[in-house]
Structure 1
Amino acid sequence: MELRRIVVCVDFSAITPKVLDWAGEEAKRFGAKVELVHVLEETMPRLAQEMLDLHTLYDKLKEVTVKKLDELKEEIEGKFGIEAETKILNGEPFDAILDYLEETKPDLVVVGAHGKKGVRRILLGSVSEKVARKSPVNVVIIKH
């Protein structure tokens, strides 16, 4: 399998460094480009929407996200000597990621699994598991 472009889904959780290390090693080995992707969720309870200036809140959240993604980009480029880009998607994580993969057709997508168990996993599902089941491209899941 030839890898030219690897999409790496990051949520800034404790698993992120492990996901970046795996993707960075593979990108270096294959000479692939890495795209760091984060999803900004737009859902908020109706009452909160009415009480808050959502544009200001969203702008601040996006500003912080851009900064964090840029830091991860610099880190992975410096550590592995590879080329990386960043992309912010909007919406529900699973839907936004799946739409993006269908639209851009990378060679591989890498996601982290948080290891949720029991009722929480049954009720919420796992974004990484859903991506693995529905993705139009190959998926690697990095366990916590």
Structure 2
Amino acid sequence: MYDTILVPTDGSTVAEHAVDHAIDLAETYDATVHALYVVDTSAVDIGLGTEQVDRIRQGKFGDMPELEQRARDATGAVATKAADCGLDVTEAVVGGQPHGQIADYADDHDVDLIVMGSAGRSGVRRALLGSVAERTLRTTRRPVLVVDAETGTGSD
């Protein structure tokens, strides 16, 4: 049913719950896990030149080693957990709008399921900010399992 499972991660507790679900599903279906970190270039482009932002979008960090380390730590944690379970893992770091990059990556790699966490914002904060999970749901035609940060349970 699932051969390729994508788990976007930022290394947060919210993402950690999704990683656990993704690995459990990958074990069940003997699927490959793809760990994706998206550098939100709209959040980092203040004070950066166009050339620097373009490099980040390509996963090239140049003089931003802290950002690169954060990304590698997040995908590396997923890779370690998955490898400990005997699963094949692919790590990727890209830059851009997170929901768009997640959808594009899923299409480019023929992903069968996207498993991601949601912080569960409500009210004005959600109306103003939205969520990456919500925007991904609206952007992709791929199945998305959204894991609640507080309960660790999924919904789609």
Distance 1:35 1:45 in 2: 26
Q: Cα gap change, 1:90/1:45 in structure 2, threshold over 3 Å: closer, same or farther?
A: closer
| 8 Å contact kept, 2:9–2:74 | no
| 8 Å contact kept, 1:105–1:136 | no
Structure 1 stretches of at least 4 aligned residues deviating more than 3 Å after TM superposition: none
Distance 1:28 1:8 in 2: 14
| 8 Å contact kept, 1:105–1:137 | no
- Match for residue 81 of structure 1? 86
Q: Does 1:65 align with 2:64?
A: no
Task: Provide TM-score, normalisation by structure 2.
Answer: 0.79
Deviation at 1:134, TM superposition (A): 2.5
> Could you list the runs of 5+ residues in structure 1 that have no partner in the other structure?
none
> Could you list the runs of 5+ residues in structure 2 that have no partner in the other structure?
54-61, 150-156
Deviation at 1:105, TM superposition (A): 2.2
Q: Which amino acid aligns with 1:7?
A: L
| Partner-residue secondary structure (3-state), 2:111 | coil
- Match for residue 63 of structure 2? 56
Cα RMSD between the aligned structures?
Answer: 2.0
Task: Provide TM-score, normalisation by structure 1.
Answer: 0.85
**Alignment size in residue pairs:** 138
